[in-house]
Structure 1
Amino acid sequence: MSHLNNRNVLVMGLGLFGGGVGAVRFLCNAGAHVTVTDLRGEDDLKESVEALKGLDITYVLGHHQEEDFARSDLVVANPGVPRSSKYLEIAEESGVPITTEICLFVERCEAPVIGITGSSGKTTTTCLLAAMLGQESREVFSGGNIGGSLLGQLENISSDSRIVLELSSFQLDYLGTIHWSPDVAVVTNFAPNHLDVHGSLEAYRKAKQEIVQHQDASGVVILNGDDPEVRGWGKAKRHLFSAEGAVQRGTYVDLDRIMHNLSGEPKEICKTGSLKLPGKHNLRNALAAACTALSAGISESAIASVLESFQGVEHRLEFVARLGGVSFVNDSIATSPERTQVALDAVPGNIVLIAGGYDKGLAYDHLGPVIGRRVSNLVLLGDTAEEIADSVPKGSATRIHRTDNLAAAVNKSRALAGEEGTVLFSPASASYDMFRNFADRGKKFKELVKEMN
């Protein structure tokens, strides 16, 4: 629906990350009559509601009204709402079109788009790439799942702008309905996640593959050559990145050097040891961003400048404090067991792991043995506590403790860490049983640590 003036538009799921706020503001400015409906109440959504103060909006909070979905001209759904929702089914049965904030944006964006997805590493790769592009371009816009909305920037975006979108499986699922894929698609990796929403691993995979499904012959796809699941995705021009060795065309590691061969002869970008980001997973994120930036014409020196200075992203292996010889690391973004495995590989020394949270229906059988090898003490809380505990091999040296809340977990972990060690907060689970989202959870962890000082 290109014309929104005087249309009755229902926004389902205002949310707290800014995408819903951006969509509502855009719709109001376009002349639509906007109703916002969310199962959460006004107290839970007060930040978002306050951000929209002064706009002519009808709110239906704490519940949904079926008639709103049947009588609207358009429904703009939060991408996290399952498409099987009975309310969306009511809209479909009533002939009401359904879209999302990201669909509204890409349908109106004049500039070519670089889209980044993966089960992990999306945000770090997006931030790295935006910084690299910004070294040699003044008009770089990043958005999507990273937070906020670019709808309000449409008037500032021209065909010469550079757009970088982090794209979740939920966003891609909806983008598939309009047969859209980005001009350049980047896939960092693939592992099971969000099965509670998608329903199956195959449905999750299909959603992720939408990023390459609708590319034409002019498209470019940049894939993790170390991940057998994704390295064959897509039919567009293909570049690979690898931390294990040389690739036919792309970026790779050769001993202690980050290299590329996109222009023919191998060229060095920088030394691996000059990266500020910890862990092999971040090395792959750096390789993905560098490969994409090179394909966009950015120089090796500009890319190296970013790689050698970039400090990381909040809630992703974020160093919080060192108290009495004990380091505290916030990895609240770890909403799946695979993310926590990566964190355990990246953090050296004696680890006290705080884990557990909302159950998304994921398996922990591969995480348990890693915990048994790397973790001295495991402090658990939340719905997944018992499943994580059961995954640790019997007879391992890991001692398991249970707590009722995060404050108790942090206090216990500091005592268990002794004079030296690392308290790693990497929950391997979603946050919704105790917190609004992973960011809220991470901020609470940091507050608790700082209160100890």
Structure 2
Amino acid sequence: MTLTLGTPLTPTLLQSAPNFRSWQRDTFERGLLPVIGIAGGRGKSTVVRMLDAILRRAYLRTATWTNLGIEIRGKRQRGEISGWSLALSRLSETSIDVAIQELHWSTINAVGLPPSSYPVLAVTNLIGSLDAPFNEEYTLVARRGSHRVANAVHGEGILTISGDDPGLVEAARIADCPIALTSLSHESPNLRHHLDAGGSGVWIEDGHIRSGDFDAFRNVCEDHEIRASLAGSAQFELANALTAIAIASSIGVDDETIAQAVCAFETTADILPGSFNVYAVDDFRVFVDGLASSWHLRPLLRAVNPGNRRRQFSVVGDLERLPEHDIPEIGRLLGRHRGAIVLHSCKRQDLIDRLRKGIAANDYPPVVIHLPTERRALNRALKAARADDQVLILCDADPGPATRAVNRLTATR
């Protein structure tokens, strides 16, 4: 789906201040605290961590609020409410420089966001993928939240959104602030329309990540240099990187610092548990991610095993966490890859049958193994893997067992 904008978004020079200190001073003069909000369906935590890495590379003192809790200058705080209050207090007295806050649609809709209260807000995507069904309740929740986000940015602040998400572009039209657009392609109609109207953003063109506007842009780095994207095969990580780059550029961080930090960034389990964690074990790789709907699984599989060139062992957790109608499609997607699918922890035979039905829809379905516990499933897949294989572990709510199993294996090799 492509949305052609009837009216252009508010144009802006991407770099709203010559350097970070100028942006920080301007923010205080507007009666705001230097708090950057990150909302969206997926990728929020990754963008928070990428941006935090950039700001730390610039020798700035940061606080973050993610689903892991509050951290002030890298130190975990005990409570969320007390920890965030302390972070805001230290922002006021300038003993820390900037705070980054992860915002969930459910929280935004339940609590609300004060109008014109953020100097910078970014939205990664509406619900996580353009393949997601638009008639489900979560989509409606996300749409309501995106409109609240658009109204929460100060008139002289910046709202950063993905130009590849039509729903976000539509929501951004109500914003009374400058907009920065990101896109995985310079051919994006929304991006071109925005740049033609005098706007700015961050996009990929001829393998280069470019930042600027229609007349003047700079090459920040090359897309294959983003380590978290696996040389560009993980498009969702490239999209996260573009958002982090756009935010950092808009608050005055220089391109060299941005490039160094974002290219070196990795989605490790200590900061992003179960969020596309990648491990190299001898001559094969292990990926740990969450068990989710088919629309999330498609781009994940393209990143893990592009072109289906390698044998793949997929470890699948409890199917009860998934929408029942989506389980056959998940099975069909996993069944495209030669190797084996190892199931565990699912006690409902009807759900297992649904998954098997989807797997069997492929011409050459892989072997399906059903084991009673996660530990046995992990051991079976990890011990069976050989050189050039891929192991994909789709975890339940807790990725800890998978992380520990891979770490044990790595320690013995």
TM over 0.5: yes
Q: How does 1:403-418 map to 2 (within 5 A)?
A: 403-414=371-382, 416-418=384-386
Q: What is the root-mean-square deviation in Å for CA atoms of aligned residues? A: 3.3
Distance in 2 (CA, whole Å) between partners of 1:382 and 1:209 is 40
Residue in 2 that maps onto 1:392: 359
- Structure with bigger helix share is 2
Residue in 1 that maps onto 2:398: 438
Q: 1:253 aligns with which of 204, 222, 234?
A: 204
Q: How does 1:56-75 map to 2 (within 5 A)?
A: none
User: Residue 355 of structure 1: CA displacement?
Assistant: 1.7
Residue in 2 that maps onto 1:309: 264
Distance in 2 (CA, whole Å) between partners of 1:270 and 1:283 is 12
1:359 aligns with 2:359: no
User: Residue 269 of structure 1: CA displacement?
Assistant: 0.3
Give the 3 Å change call, closer, same or farther, for CA 171–144 of structure 1 in structure 2: farther
Q: 1:188 aligns with which of 114, 121, 124?
A: 124
1:171 aligns with 2:75: no
Which AA in structure 1 matches 2:221?
C
Q: How does 1:8-47 map to 2 (within 5 A)?
A: none
Q: 1:243 aligns with which of 184, 189, 194?
A: 184
Distance in 2 (CA, whole Å) between partners of 1:375 and 1:182 is 49
Residue in 2 that maps onto 1:151: 85
CA deviation profile, 1:245-302 (whole Å, cap 9, x unmatched) = 2532211111121111149502100112222112111111111100111111111111
Which AA in structure 2 matches 1:270?
C
TM-score with structure 1 length normalisation?
0.64
Task: Check whether the contact 2:335–2:358 (CA below 8 A) recurs between aligned residues.
Answer: no
User: Residue 408 of structure 1: CA displacement?
Assistant: 1.8
Give the 3 Å change call, closer, same or farther, for CA 229–283 of structure 1 in structure 2: same
Distance in 2 (CA, whole Å) between partners of 1:420 and 1:313 is 21
Q: How does 1:27-426 map to 2 (within 5 A)?
A: 111-136=33-58, 138-148=60-70, 149=80, 150-158=84-92, 161-176=97-112, 182-191=118-127, 200-207=138-145, 209-234=147-172, 235=175, 236-245=177-186, 247=191, 248=195, 249-262=200-213, 264-277=215-228, 278=230, 279-314=234-269, 315-323=274-282, 325-331=283-289, 333-348=290-305, 349-357=310-318, 358-361=320-323, 363-364=326-327, 367-374=330-337, 376-383=339-346, 385-392=352-359, 394-399=361-366, 400-414=368-382, 416-426=384-394
Task: Check whether the contact 1:353–1:425 (CA below 8 A) recurs between aligned residues.
Answer: yes
Number of corresponding residues: 333
Residue in 1 that maps onto 2:3: none
Identity of aligned residues (%): 19
Which AA in structure 1 matches 2:111?
L
CA deviation profile, 1:404-446 (whole Å, cap 9, x unmatched) = 221121233235545540111124xxx3xxxxx4343443443
Give the 3 Å change call, closer, same or farther, for CA 311–215 of structure 1 in structure 2: closer
CA deviation profile, 1:288-325 (whole Å, cap 9, x unmatched) = 100111111111111111122112232333233515x4
CA deviation profile, 1:88-146 (whole Å, cap 9, x unmatched) = xxxxxxxxxxxxxxxxxxxxx96132111222211111111112223335232221434
Partner-residue secondary structure (3-state), 2:166: coil
Task: Check whether the contact 1:175–1:181 (CA below 8 A) recurs between aligned residues.
Answer: no
Distance in 1 (CA, whole Å) between partners of 2:284 and 2:207 is 30
TM-score with structure 2 length normalisation?
0.70
Q: Which runs of 5+ in 2 are unaligned?
A: 1-30, 71-79
Distance in 2 (CA, whole Å) between partners of 1:151 and 1:448 is 39
Distance in 2 (CA, whole Å) between partners of 1:420 and 1:138 is 41
CA deviation profile, 1:343-370 (whole Å, cap 9, x unmatched) = 2111232221112324253734654443
Distance in 2 (CA, whole Å) between partners of 1:169 and 1:228 is 17
Give the 3 Å change call, closer, same or farther, for CA 336–346 of structure 1 in structure 2: same
Give the 3 Å change call, closer, same or farther, for CA 283–217 of structure 1 in structure 2: same
Give the 3 Å change call, closer, same or farther, for CA 250–371 of structure 1 in structure 2: same
